[in-house]
Amino acid sequence: MVEIQHHASLFIGLGNMGRPMAINYAAGRELFVYDTNPVAAAEVAAATNGIALPDLEYMPSHVRTVILMLPNSRIVESVLRTSPGLFKRLPARSLIIDMSSSEPESTAALAAEAAAIGIDYVDAPVSGGVAKAEVGKLAIMVGGDSTAVERAKRHLRPLGETITHVGPAGTGHAAKALNNLLSATNLAAAAEILSVAATAGIAPEKMLEVINGSTGRSQASEFKYPRHVLTGTFDSGFAMDLMLKDLRIATNLISQQSAEAPIVLTAQATAEKARELLESAQPDHTEFVRYYEKLNGTSLRAG
Ligand code: NAD
């Protein structure tokens, strides 16, 4: 008699990003979900016809693919190495995809450990925020060896519009941090220009209209300002502390490579200063703009 094997997937980390991603990933799959916040896990399980694990200790033995969408490398390391140590629990030929924005060096080390026990490991961080996560149109940048990456693509397609294989394990995470440093620089640079425009009597919404029809435009000016700044809502769903984590990863890379990058390094230093001055406990990354409002005594809100 031929035994039919079926394999399941496990999605860990169901926050602002993981929740909509797990929902898009679920179609046609047997899915287990886990988050240290049991309410988040129960809600995603209900939305996906999946099963919420009360603890990773209960991971079923037929799970072969694990997707991580966690806050940082320390947490990724602990889930894989120690509590509960998925490296010890997953059988050989399993696949781990870390979609969190993690540290490239940590990722390269985890990928080497995984390879030594026959597990495929791929880093696949994303760009596009909650809005693109909800519609399954994230930009996904992938690090890993070609066989593992080819295997991972089937799992990434429901989540992304573009899937770019950058290079070996860790390079996806390096590319992600560098992109976010540029993105934060664009956000800050636009705040500076809008502040000067405001002091010269040009309203922020007018100046943005000009920028967005001109060469100074960026994703920040086209989307972040109209949706989250002019409205005064500051509700992008991407925390300033997560942005700062990315900026530190990127600036570490710059110093490791001894590269000259004065403008983006200044953007990082300015973001650190802004974070110290912000009063909210968990500011959204778009609140970086509030620092400039204080500095210049101008409002960058509409009307
Ligand atoms: P979030 O804080 O909203 O979600 C993180 C989730 O992980 C939470 O639900 C938390 O309870 C859970 N968690 C923490 N420790 C855990 C553990 N040990 N085991 C299981 N679950 C645990 O964060 P987010 O905004 O969804 O970001 C997740 C990752 O994606 C981060 O690495 C972030 O930098 C990256 N990212 C975020 C955005 C965005 O727009 N929010 C965009 C791109 C990338």
Q: What are the pLDDT digits (tens) for 128-148? A: 999 999 999 999 999 999 999
The structural domains of the chain, ordered by start, are 8-168 (3.40.50.720), 174-296 (1.10.1040.10)
- Look at residue 182 in the predicted model and tell me its pLDDT: 98
Residue 84 beta carbon below 6 angstroms from any ligand 1 atom: no
Percent of the chain topping pLDDT 90: 96
Element spanning 161, H or E: strand 160-167
Distance 35 CA to ligand 1 centre (A): 10
Pairing of strands 138-143, 126-127: antiparallel
Tell me the chain's radius of gyration from C-alpha atoms.
21
Distance 237 CA to ligand 1 centre (A): 11
Residue 144 beta carbon below 6 angstroms from any ligand 1 atom: no
pLDDT (tens digit per residue) in 210-268:
999 999 999 999 999 999 999 999 999 999 999 999 999 999 999 999 999 999 999 99
Residue 286 beta carbon below 6 angstroms from any ligand 1 atom: no
CA distance 66 to 197: 49
Atom number, ligand 1, closest to the C-alpha of residue 246: 34
pLDDT at 3 > cutoff 90 = no
Tokens of 56: 């990773």
Residue 12 beta carbon below 6 angstroms from any ligand 1 atom: yes
pLDDT at 76 > cutoff 70 = yes
Task: Compute CA 8 distance to the chain's CA centroid, rounded to the nearest angstrom.
Answer: 24
pLDDT (tens digit per residue) in 169-190:
999 999 999 999 999 999 999 9
Q: Is 132 a catalytic residue?
A: no
Residue 183 beta carbon below 6 angstroms from any ligand 1 atom: no
How many residues are given for the chain?
A: 303
Mean pLDDT of 265-290: 96
Helix intervals (H) in the chain: 18-25, 38-48, 73-77, 86-89, 104-116, 129-134, 146-156, 171-199, 204-212, 219, 240-256, 262-277, 288-296
- Look at residue 303 in the predicted model and tell me its pLDDT: 81
> Which of 88, 132, 153, 176 does the annotation list as catalytic?
176
**123: pLDDT confidence band, cut at 50, 70 and 90?**
very high
**1: pLDDT confidence band, cut at 50, 70 and 90?**
low
pLDDT at 84 > cutoff 90 = no
Considering only CA atoms, which residue is closest to atom 12 of ligand 1? Answer: 13
